[in-house]
Each structure stands twice: as structure tokens, then as C-alpha cells.
Amino acid sequence: MCGKHTIPPMATLPSERLEEAIPFTHCDIDCFGQFVAKDGHKKRKAYGLMITYLSSRAVHIELLEYMTSDSFINALRNLISIRGAVSTIRCDQGTNFIGAFNDLAKNLEGSLSSSHPHVKINFNPPHSSPMGGVWERHIWSARTILRGLGQKHGGRLSRSQLRTPFYEVMAVINSRLLRSVFND
């Protein structure tokens, strides 16, 4: 005899995923890549910062010239300048994230955003990438699109020219349908 078939209970979604809010008020962030970009006659590494709005899964991508706290803070300031105040950030425990948020807490208290000085940070437990499924899926999509664009450009882009493919990836990901469209 077989046992009774049961459906395992699913964890509840974070309240930020269900709450209607101004876009990018609640977001997930993660770094991706290691892109080789020209810097004069030298080749240097560059990275992407994927910022995903939790409610609609819209994305914003910033270029990180270095994998440092300072570079991350500048990218976060760019996000706030373009998209508005951020209330909640979820991320993994990358050293650049931890260092940046420690620096902000010590030195720049309240200056991250003049309109919304208090940002709540939620770090995922170590080695738990499935908790970041929303942003990990977007990173996979971004890598796929960038791979195609890289073949087109042959990897000869400077750091400043790398921003354009990032914006093109952002446009492609943000243009997808959020739900099925019905004819009736």
C-alpha cells in the first residue's frame, strides 16, 4: 500500500514581494560577471551589479569597475539618484556588500539618500544561493544576452562602452510580460 500523497508546504513569500510600493523601494542585489574591458592599452576586469525590484521583478544594472565597497557604494548612489529611495535591500554576504554597509553605518550615517536615510539590509545566510532565486534567474538571463552581444563586439569594449550592453540587457529583461495576456 502506498502512503497518502501530500504536497509539501511552501514557505511564505517575504512581505516586500507582495507589497505595492514605489519601484525599487524593496530590492535584491547581487554581483555578476567578470568582464574583460579595455582601459587604454591594458585589459581590466569589470563586473555587473544586478538590482531586482521585488514586486515586479524589474531590474536595474550598474557597472562596477572594481569589486570593492567603494565601487558598490557608488553604484548604490547611482541607483538611488535614478530610481529613488531604497527602503529594503536583500543580498548575499559578499565581502563588498558587508564592507560597504559597515562603512555606511559608521561613516555616512544618513547620507545614502537624503529623502530616505534608513535602509534596512537583510543578508542571506552563507551558501544559500536558492534564497536569491529572483536575482539569480535575472543574472542567468543577463549572462545569456551579454554572451550574444559579446560575440557581436568581440570583447573589445572599454569600461564605459560596457555600460551600453548592460542597459540593453536591462531593456530586454524589463520588456518581458509579467503575466499571461488573455484575449477576452
- The answer, as to whether pTM is greater than 0.85, is no
Residue-wise DSSP of 66-78? SSSHHHHHHHHHH
Q: Domain 20-174: give its CATH superfamily.
A: Ribonuclease H-like superfamily/Ribonuclease H (3.30.420.10)
pLDDT at residue 151, rounded to an integer: 58
Report the alpha-carbon distance of residue 184 to residue 174 in Å, rounded.
25
Q: How many residues does the chain have?
A: 184
The helix (H) or strand (E) run that includes residue 50 is strand 42-53
Asked if residues 105 and 88 have their Cβ atoms less than 8 Å apart, the reply is: no
Structural domain spans, the chain: 20-174
Vertex 104: Cα angle to 45 and 57 (nearest 5): 65
Of 38, 73, 75, 50, nearest to 145 (Cα)? 50
**How many CA atoms are closer than 13 Å to the CA of 145, on its beta-carbon side?**
17
pLDDT at residue 90, rounded to an integer: 87
pLDDT at residue 171, rounded to an integer: 92
Digits of tens for pLDDT over the chain (184 positions)? 567 888 877 777 777 777 777 888 888 899 888 888 887 788 888 899 999 988 888 899 999 988 888 888 899 889 989 988 888 888 888 888 888 888 777 765 544 544 445 678 888 877 766 666 777 888 888 888 888 776 566 557 777 788 888 898 899 989 987 666 666 6
